[in-house]
């Protein structure tokens, strides 16, 4: 796996912890950031994971450098974990069905930035998080998993965000493991979750 980050990296930490706990059968081969001061890089370094920073002034140059970097690393799965840039069509087409994102709302409601604030301002009673495959739109790709979080009367953006983030951590780990087990199948807009492979009994 390659993980793209821009900020604190709490979802990155959840993935690292999931691997160490045996909840994800896989390894992170690189953590890539567009911000050299992103705290997520320190988390990766602390876990002994290769870190790469790409800083380019123009969007086009950045996207080309990122595609070159991902092609060199050649991961089975690319994970967006608080990565604050849209990926170019060239990147998405190079890794079809192999890029995941997690978003703090029940998509298609409240895509884009400030999803928690959008939910509060709209007055919904339930929001949550969504893990989805990435396509060329903004938060529009096929949905893998969703988990609901109630919106409480006393909630503000910070309290709602913190409660959603707790759910994000476990939901992302579940989705990554389903991919690692080969149990995700994309059919148009739907992602089918296949049953686990039967356990082979050993003949004594």
Dig out the tokens for 45 from the structure: 């370094």
pLDDT over threshold 70, residue 188? yes
CATH number for position 71: 3.40.50.170
Q: Which of 98, 103, 132, 163 is catalytic?
A: 103
pTM, rounded to two decimals: 0.93
The boundaries of the domain holding residue 147 are 102-194
Q: Are residues 44 and 117 in the same domain?
A: no
Q: Are residues 63 and 110 in the same domain?
A: no
Instruction: Write out the E strands in the chain.
Output: 2-5, 30-33, 51-53, 78-80, 99-103, 126-133, 143-150, 184-187, 190-193
Dig out the tokens for 11 from the structure: 């979802």
100 DSSP β-pair partners? 79, 133
Q: What is the pLDDT of residues 61-97, one digit of tens each?
A: 999 999 999 999 999 999 999 999 999 999 999 999 9
3-state secondary structure of 1: coil
Terminal-residue alpha carbon distance, the chain? 37
Q: Are residues 190 and 107 in the same domain?
A: yes
Banded model confidence at residue 203, pLDDT cuts 50, 70, 90: low
Banded model confidence at residue 56, pLDDT cuts 50, 70, 90: confident
Banded model confidence at residue 58, pLDDT cuts 50, 70, 90: very high
Q: Are residues 67 and 157 in the same domain?
A: no
Note if 169 is an active site residue. no
Which of 55, 78, 95 terminates a domain? The answer is 95
Which DSSP symbol is given to 5? Answer: E
pLDDT over threshold 80, residue 199? no
Among all chains, which residue has been given the structure tokens 């002034």?
Answer: 57
Q: Are residues 114 and 91 in the same domain?
A: no
Number of domains in the chain: 2
Banded model confidence at residue 202, pLDDT cuts 50, 70, 90: low
Which of 63, 79, 95 terminates a domain? The answer is 95
Flag whether 141 is in a domain: yes
Closest CA to 63 of 85, 38, 30: 85
Structure confidence at residue 198 (pLDDT): 81
Structure confidence at residue 201 (pLDDT): 67
**Burial zone of 86 (CB within 10 Å; 0-12 exposed, 13-18 middle, 19+ buried):** middle
Banded model confidence at residue 7, pLDDT cuts 50, 70, 90: very high
Measured between alpha carbons, how far is 75 from 81 in angstroms, rounded to an integer? 15
Which of 72, 95, 118 terminates a domain? The answer is 95
Flag whether 200 is in a domain: no
Measured between alpha carbons, how far is 160 from 145 in angstroms, rounded to an integer? 19
């Amino acid at each position: 796996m390659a993980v793209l980050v821009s900020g604190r990296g709490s979802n990155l930490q959840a993935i690292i912890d999931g691997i160490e706990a045996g909840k994800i059968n896989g390894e992170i081969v690189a953590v890539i950031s567009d911000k050299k001061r992103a705290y997520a890089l320190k988390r990766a370094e602390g876990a002994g994971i290769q870190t790469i920073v790409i800083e380019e002034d123009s969007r086009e140059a950045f996207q080309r450098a990122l595609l070159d970097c991902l092609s060199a690393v050649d991961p089975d799965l690319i994970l967006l974990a608080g990565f604050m840039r849209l990926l170019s069509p060239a990147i998405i087409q190079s890794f079809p069905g192999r890029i995941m994102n997690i978003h703090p709302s029940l998509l298609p409601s409240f895509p884009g930035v400030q999803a928690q604030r959008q939910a509060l301002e709209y007055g919904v009673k339930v929001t949550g998080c969504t893990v989805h495959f990435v396509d060329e739109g903004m938060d529009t790709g096929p949905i893998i998993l969703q988990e609901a979080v109630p919106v409480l009367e006393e909630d503000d953006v910070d309290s709602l965000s913190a409660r959603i983030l707790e759910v994000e951590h476990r939901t992302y780990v579940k989705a990554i493991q389903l991919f690692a087990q080969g149990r995700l199948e994309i059919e148009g807009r739907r992602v089918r979750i296949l049953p686990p492979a039967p356990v082979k009994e050993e003949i004594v």
